[in-house]
Amino acid sequence: MIGKLSSFMSRVLFLVAFFLAGVAIWERLANVFGFTMLGGYAPSRLLDYAGVAVLFVIALQVREIKEVKKGAP
């Protein structure tokens, strides 16, 4: 049960990180032309959040690999 939940959360966090990185790129392009989509958040802040989400994804993947290797002979 925990393995499935961990795998699901890893996928969700990866998608969130990808989405945040995409929004940051579009926000930066909009800022170049004098517009803004988000108002309060700088694109660099969104990339920071995306990086933290990817870091958690990596940690979850390493944990899953460790569990698989522990079970294998």
Whether the full predicted model's pTM is greater than 0.85, yes or no, is no
Q: Give the model confidence (pLDDT) of 29-53 as tens digits.
A: 998 898 888 887 788 999 999 999 9
Beta strands in 6-70 (DSSP E): none
Query: How many other CB atoms are found less than 10 A from the CB of residue 30?
Result: 14
More confident residue, 67 or 3: 67
Higher-pLDDT residue of 71, 72? 71
What is d(CA 64, CA 30) in angstroms, rounded to the nearest whole number?
39
